[in-house]
Structures are given as structure tokens and as C-alpha cells.
Structure 1
Amino acid sequence: MRLEVGLRFLAALFALAPLPAVAAEADPPILFVHGNGDSAALWETDIWRFESNGYDPALLSAVDFPHPMARAADDVPEPNRSSTADQTAELKQAVDQVLAATGRTRLVLVGSSRGGYPIRDYIRNDGGRATVALAILAGVPNHGVFALPFKRASEFNGDGPFLSGLNRPPEADPGVRFVTLRSDHLDKFAQRTGRFVGFPYVPTFVNHDGPALEGARNIELPGLDHRESAFHRLAFQEMYRAVTGHDPATLDPTPIDHPVLDGLVSGTENGAPTNLPLVGATVELYEVDPATGVRLGPAVHRRTIDADGRWGPFTGSPTAYYEFVVAAAGYPTSHIYRTPFPRSWRYLDLRLAPLDPAHRARAGSLVTLVRPRGYLAHGRDVFTIDGTEPPGVDDGIPAVDAVTRGFDAGPSRSVPVALNGERMTVRTFPLADDQVVFAEFHY
């Protein structure tokens, strides 16, 4: 049954979402490619910005790799994890679908982190020079997260066969324009020691220049972290310049009256996240009071997930705050609060994960602040739960994208949560009933 569902999902995945008719402009289609363990959802804020600058939504799409996590060794199969060959084949199929849907012959590929690997492999080894006009590689560890004589089968080893093959001169393949975006020194995967990759104090023989490529236009984005090099407004500015040749009129999304929200419900298998449909899961959507997090009425949308994995569509308000309640067998019920959605969101993915047993023993309820498109750093970011900064963030390189605070057992209460300029209020739910709370921010 799981295989049958997976095959049906793959067929739907590479058909992509139905696209409106393509306008007769010269702008190329853009396909966004997510990184290790991630999903298409991360790209939506960049898609919003392109749309807000007049880019045809029909030309903007993102891929969801079904098994987004890399194997420990690229040549050794692991349940629910993908090889470099898997991802390149899946990307090629997605490219073919985009070109067929848009009627174009070439496109732009934009990759974050690991997402740059299938882009480069496709261009170099699988016919991509004929179809890719521009490759934008954001925070991609092009020379590895380490370059060492052990773990050579890891695709992230700059001294291993995969990256050695991609980096044979010329690093930027002729016939395709390459742009790289990187942090000046805050990318946790471009550090001189292996603190963030499993071997502290060991030299990596990689530094902050690791994402740059000879022959590319290499752009440094000071003060941004690994994920922000793809999803920050300043990263978008460089993407837009590279695609269009001029500056965007705005770096922020412009609201529309009736945003339509939709996305995938997925889960975690064998310890790794998936972008496969979590059949049988349920989603309820409530509008909440932004000051208290209290629901303003009954559910405004309900859906039981079937083989296509979709929980929508739902037409909402660009000023409303919403609570998503996602439940499935084997997972805690997740209450996911979100700041307003100014524009439509095709890739509003909702992914469930098991509860960390360590949390269960320490609190009556949990609230987790989540920043999917960047990390948290003391002094650079302001992040609070119930007015105080939660533990779990070290000084120095931004490396954590979520922090959790526990609360004593008791009646449900309102908890304000803030991240830089975004704010929301959530409600607590009892951990004893397998309920957890997330405050997820767009930026």
C-alpha cells in the first residue's frame, strides 16, 4: 500500500501544480530546489517577492523531493534517504515538466544548500546545458562541508568522488551562467573546524569561500547565515538582479485580497523527514485572535489527507492569524500558529515529527519558536517566548532554527512569541494529551 501511494504521489509531484496560462513575456521560468531535509515550502517567500515585482506566477514553481535527506554514504542505500543520482533524476523530470507546462526551452534553476548539487550534476552530466540558462546557488557547499580523507563516500566531502567530479575545471560549466550567494563568515557549513558537522576541533579544510565557484559571479552577503543566503530579502534582491538584469521595485511581498493556501501533509519515517503524503492525517484550520491566540469560532477549513497529500485549497484573509491543527496516528497533535499570509501559498507544507522524549519528562506543555528560513543568533536576532529568550542558542555562528520553552501543567494560557519584527500569540495545550505547539515565522 505504501509503495502504491508513493508512486501515485511521485506522478503528481512531477506533474507539479496546475499552472495558469503563460503570459507572452521574455522572463524565463524559475524552478526552486530545496536543500537537505527541507521542502518546497521554504521558497514561498522568495516566490511572493518575485510575484510582487510583476513576475508571472505561472513561471514560478518549486520541487518537493520525496526523500529529502542525504545518505550517510552516497553509494549505500538507506531507508527513506536519497542519493545524488536519485535527486538528479528527480530534478531532470521536474525540469521537463516545467518546460512542457510553460512552453519554454530554457529555465532558471535556484538551489539552496544541498539543492545546488542536483542542479550542478544535471548541468554537467545529464543534459542540463541545453535547458538551463542560469543557475543560482545559494549557500551551496560547492567544495564540501569538509574535505578530508575519511567519509569519502559522503556527498558533502569535497575530497570525495561526487564533488571532485563536479569541481573538475571548469567549475562553472560553459554555456550556463552561474551565480553563487554566500555568507561572509556565518554559514555553519563553511567553517574551518567540524563543530557543526560531527567532529569538533578537526580542521575541515573548508572556509567561508567554499560556496564560490571559479567562473561564476560570486556574491558575498555580509551578516547572513546558511539559510538566509537563499531566503533573506537581500538574497532575493541578488536573485532578481541575476534573472532580470535590474533591481526589484520592492523587497517585500505586496498583499492580495484573497490568498489561496494549500500544501502537503507529510511525516517522518526511519528517523528522516519525508515529502510523501501522510494519508489519513487530519487538518483543521482556525482563525485566532492575534492578541490572545484564542480561536474566533469553529474551524474555517477541515480536510482528511488522501493519496495526493494536499490539505487545501483554502481561501483566507491577508490579515488573519491562523492555527493549523494537524493530527495523525503515531505523532503528537501539532498546533501550528502562523503570522498572516499576504499572498497565496501553493507549498504550505505541514510536516509532523515524533516528540522528543526528553521534553515529555520536563514540562506540562511546550511552545516551540520555529524559523525555517534562517537560524537564530544572540545579538543579531530578537527571539522571545512569553517575554524571555529561551535556552538552546549558543553565541557565535547561527546554527539553531528552533527553540522550545516548557510550561508547568495547568489551564491553557496565552503565550506571546516574537522573532525580530514578527509577533504572534499562541495557546498552550497539555503535553500529557500528546499535544504540542509551534509558532512558525515566515521571515
Structure 2
Amino acid sequence: MPTSRRRLLSLLAGVALTAGLSVAAVPSAADAATPTYRPVIFVHGSAGSAAQFETQAKRLASNGYPIDIIEAHEYDSPNIATILPQVYAGLDARISRLLAATGADKVDLLAHSLGTFVMQGYLSSSPARAARVAHYVNLDGRVAAAPPGGVPTLAIWGEGDPARAIVGATNVHFPDQSHTQTVSSQESFREFFRFFRGHAPQTTRIVPQLFGTARVSGRAVLFPSNVGVTNATLEVYPVNALTGSRLTSQPTRRMALTGDGSFGPIPVLATARYEFAIVRPGAATHHFYAQPFLRSDSFVRLATSLPGEGLGALVDTSDRHTALTIQRQKEWWGDQGDAGDKLWINGRDVLNAANTPRVKRTIGIFAFDNDSDGVTDLTAPLPEFFSQTFISGMDVFIPATPAHLGLVSIVVGQRGGGFDVINVPNWKSSQHRVTVSVNDH
């Protein structure tokens, strides 16, 4: 590197660090010699979406990958048996588009759980399809007698049968990681990055965007079909980092949701907090809160349901209480003692061996006042929610008075260490739904 350029990079780094901001990771010498990146496509599992790969997409970007070549191939997982040909055709079109746009020779693919069934079938269905894939990563899914389609394969396995493997692949086991955690963990990232690039990543952190600017885009979708939300408006508000209350009376962005529910890109401050609100005529407003994005993010998914349908229809509502959905792309462990997780809502730890046992693989929690009786009862989970894959429900009275002028205190004690605080307004459940996304890192 020329001396003048090296000095310029050092100066920029010094300025950013002095301002208290981290600079995006500089690609390693190996990447500098080969500056091209193959497109990366993630295929989710049952009831999943791009959200499972949101953290890893930002880790890839922190290591030099352009965000625009990292995509997710989403589908209606409950109906996969009847739509498989359409899913394959859509993936064909996605790969063709990405190869044409980037000039890359091939793409790299990752799949999780049910997605490994989809991808193993896809790669084995046609030599022409397999020929356009450089690497395949099988995340805690199906075993196989050979790498699918002959594509070089890395298989990552979490807790469970240690004998699981794809014969002829590189098999890596993380016996202390849960099912969805194998998608989002630092350890998995390190393995698949090395598999793709031939060397270790420069960092496994999410490096905040240079000078704090970022752009956010994504989709508003119906859960679990991933069908886009239509006939609705998306509003975006900057919020107070401590309380979650809106900093402006009017949204800084307002856009119609149509088609596949896509929105953005929206310019944001990387270290600030925001509220996304789906507003529909005759329906409760659905508010979404997350921790700071840190850097550009195209994998934001706002999962909701149609009025009177889905799990939302099973939530008891009233003017007196707030109803929460809390999600994290790493399972909640309520029965592992100090090795587990903590989730305090208004100062009360709501996780226990009954509602979030490790074997349940819970990533989504519905917490509301069951029967609207003003009483919290955590002795047993709510069966209609607990019976759903990756979901639990609990009877927690969360006062909503005075109407959205107060707050709900949400504190997460992450297993492995660290605490997160995500306070939100105490909206009335009779008119509002609230979803809170907790970082998995």
C-alpha cells in the first residue's frame, strides 16, 4: 500500500476513534489481494425468515462484504411440500440476478434446519444448479451420505446427536449451542467465513458504521408465511434510548406497504434507537422496537398477522395492560440456572423451567395479561402458544396506565454474560401491539 494512502487511513481511524466511533474493519491482506466477493444467500428454516441471518450479514459487512450482495431466500415454510418447485425456480432467478449484477462466477449458500431439506434437494436436482454454487453451509439440519450435488460442504451441528454428519463434508460440532444459535453465533461465523474465504475473518464483531451513518431496509411480513403486508402504512420514529418514547410527534419517514411488504432504504444513525409502526385501517397499530442497528441492515423483518388471525388473535387485550412479543435469534433457556438466560419485565424475571425449558427451543415469547384479570401467573405456560414451534406464552400483567405515557422495563441477562436494556412505552393492548427484538450477540 502506498505510504500516503496508509497515512490517510491512519488519520481517518484516529479521527473516528477520537469521536468515540469504531471504524469499519479493513479487509485483511488476503482479501486485499482478491477484492471480489461472491454473493451470499441464506435459506431459513421452519417459521423462519431473513431475521435469523441478520447478525451474520452485518458481520460479513464488517469484514468487507458489500451489503447489497448478501440476500435471503424466503418462502412459506408451512406449505413447503406443495410449493417446492416455485421455491427452486425463485432461487434460480435470484442466483442469475446476483451473478449478472456482480460478475461473480458462483454464489455461496447457507441453509438452516428445514432450509437444509430445501437446499439439499435443490443442489441434487440438477448439475447445472450445483455448478453455480461455490460453497454450501448446512446449519444444524439434515444429514446426508455425500455433499449435496457434489458442492463443497461445511456442516455445522449444535446440541443433539454427536453422530450427525454429512459424509465427505467438513463437519463441525458445537454441543453447547442451541438450534437457532448455530445460525447466529460468532463461532459459526468464524467457521463459514473461513470456508468461504480461505482465511479467518478480521473480526467477529459487528463494527459500527463509519461516522455513524447507515441505511436500513427490509420487509413487513405475515408470520409464518412470509407473505408481504399490504394495504398498510409504515411509520418510522426516532425514540429515546432510555425510555423508547418518541422524540418527534410526526414520523420521520412514512411509506405505503404494498407487494411483498418491502420498505427502505431508510437513513438512520447507527447508534440510535427507532420505532417502526405498521398502521392499518381498523386494526391495532403494531409497534416494533430494536436495539441500535450499528451498521446498514437489509434483513429487518417486521412480522405481524392480519387482524383477527394468527397468534395475535389469541392475545387477550384491554385498556389496562400492555401485550408484548419478545424475540431473539438465540433460544431462551429458563431452566439452566446460572448457565441460562434472565428476562426481567418491570423487575420480575419471567423465565422458568415451565415456560422456557432448553428443550423447547423458544425464540419468540408472548407476554400479556391472560384473561385480563390483572394477575401474573408463571406456574405454567399458555398452552396455545407453547404448542407452537419455537414459541412460548406467559401470563404477565404489564400495566398500561397512564396510556403509553409510562414505560415497560425490559432487561435481558444474556447467558454467557452481558445485559441489555430495551425499555418501551406501555401502549394499551386494546389498540396496540408491541414487538421487541433483542440482540443475539
- TM-score if structure 2 supplies the norm length? 0.75
- 8 Å contact 1:225–1:398 — kept in the other structure? no
Residue 348 of structure 1 pairs with residue 272 of structure 2: no
**Aligned twin of 2:439:** 442
- The size of the alignment, in residue pairs, is 357
**Aligned twin of 2:274:** 322
Report the CA distance between 1:358 and its aligned residue.
Answer: 4.7
Distance 1:26 1:317, change over 3 A: closer
Q: Deviations over 1:194-241 (max 9, x none)?
A: xxxxxxxxxxxxx4544x211111111132111111111221111111
Report the CA distance between 1:376 and its aligned residue.
Answer: 0.3
Distance 1:406 1:304 in 2: 34
Alignment-mate amino acid for residue 254 of structure 1: V
Q: Deviations over 1:5-42 (max 9, x none)?
A: xxxxxxxxxxxxxxxxxx97343222111222222233
Report the CA distance between 1:377 and its aligned residue.
Answer: 0.2
- 8 Å contact 2:399–2:426 — kept in the other structure? no
Distance 1:213 1:58, change over 3 A: same
Report the CA distance between 1:89 and its aligned residue.
Answer: 2.7
The one of 20, 26, 37 equivalent to 1:27 is: 37
Distance 2:43 2:262 in 1: 20
Alignment-mate amino acid for residue 415 of structure 1: V
**Aligned twin of 1:226:** 179
Q: Deviations over 1:255-309 (max 9, x none)?
A: 11211011112225xxxx3333322211111111122222112322111213352
Residue 120 of structure 1 pairs with residue 120 of structure 2: yes
Distance 1:330 1:374, change over 3 A: farther
Distance 1:171 1:363, change over 3 A: farther
- Which has the larger displacement, 101-110 or 305-314? 305-314
- 8 Å contact 2:237–2:248 — kept in the other structure? yes
Report the CA distance between 1:49 and its aligned residue.
Answer: 0.4
The one of 215, 239, 244 equivalent to 1:293 is: 244
The one of 429, 432, 437 equivalent to 2:430 is: 432
Distance 1:131 1:410 in 2: 57
- 8 Å contact 1:369–1:385 — kept in the other structure? no
What pairs with 1:40-439 in structure 2 (closer than 5 Å)? 40-65=50-75, 67-71=76-80, 74=81, 77=82, 82=83, 84-126=84-126, 127-140=128-141, 142-143=142-143, 167=144, 170-173=145-148, 175-185=150-160, 207=161, 209-210=163-164, 212-256=165-209, 257-268=212-223, 273-298=224-249, 299-307=251-259, 309-329=261-281, 331-353=283-305, 354=309, 355-360=312-317, 364-371=321-328, 373-378=329-334, 379=337, 380-391=340-351, 393-403=355-365, 404=367, 405-411=396-402, 412=404, 413-419=406-412, 420=414, 421-433=419-431, 435-439=432-436
- 8 Å contact 2:45–2:115 — kept in the other structure? yes
- 8 Å contact 2:400–2:427 — kept in the other structure? no
- Compute the RMSD of aligned alpha carbons: 2.4
Q: Deviations over 1:302-331 (max 9, x none)?
A: 112133522322111111111111123575
Alignment-mate amino acid for residue 397 of structure 2: G
Report the CA distance between 1:251 and its aligned residue.
Answer: 1.0
Q: Deviations over 1:374-432 (max 9, x none)?
A: 21002322222222222563333252112214324521321221232332110111122
Distance 2:283 2:177 in 1: 34
Report the CA distance between 1:180 and its aligned residue.
Answer: 0.7
- 8 Å contact 1:134–1:176 — kept in the other structure? yes
- 8 Å contact 1:326–1:334 — kept in the other structure? yes
Report the CA distance between 1:95 and its aligned residue.
Answer: 1.7
Distance 1:24 1:56, change over 3 A: farther
> Which structure is higher in helix share?
2
Distance 2:114 2:325 in 1: 26
**Aligned twin of 1:14:** none
Report the CA distance between 1:137 and its aligned residue.
Answer: 0.9
- TM-score if structure 1 supplies the norm length? 0.74
- 8 Å contact 1:28–1:106 — kept in the other structure? yes
Distance 1:31 1:382 in 2: 33
Distance 1:208 1:69, change over 3 A: farther
Distance 1:116 1:124 in 2: 12
Distance 1:394 1:294, change over 3 A: closer
Report the CA distance between 1:86 and its aligned residue.
Answer: 3.3
**Aligned twin of 2:373:** none
- 8 Å contact 2:157–2:173 — kept in the other structure? yes
- 8 Å contact 2:207–2:294 — kept in the other structure? yes
* Secondary structure of 1:248's aligned partner: coil
Structure 1: gaps (5+ residues): 1-22, 144-166, 186-206
Q: Deviations over 1:133-170 (max 9, x none)?
A: 21001121x14xxxxxxxxxxxxxxxxxxxxxxx4xx4
Distance 1:311 1:56, change over 3 A: closer
Q: Deviations over 1:118-141 (max 9, x none)?
A: 22112111232211121001121x
Structure 2: gaps (5+ residues): 1-32, 368-395
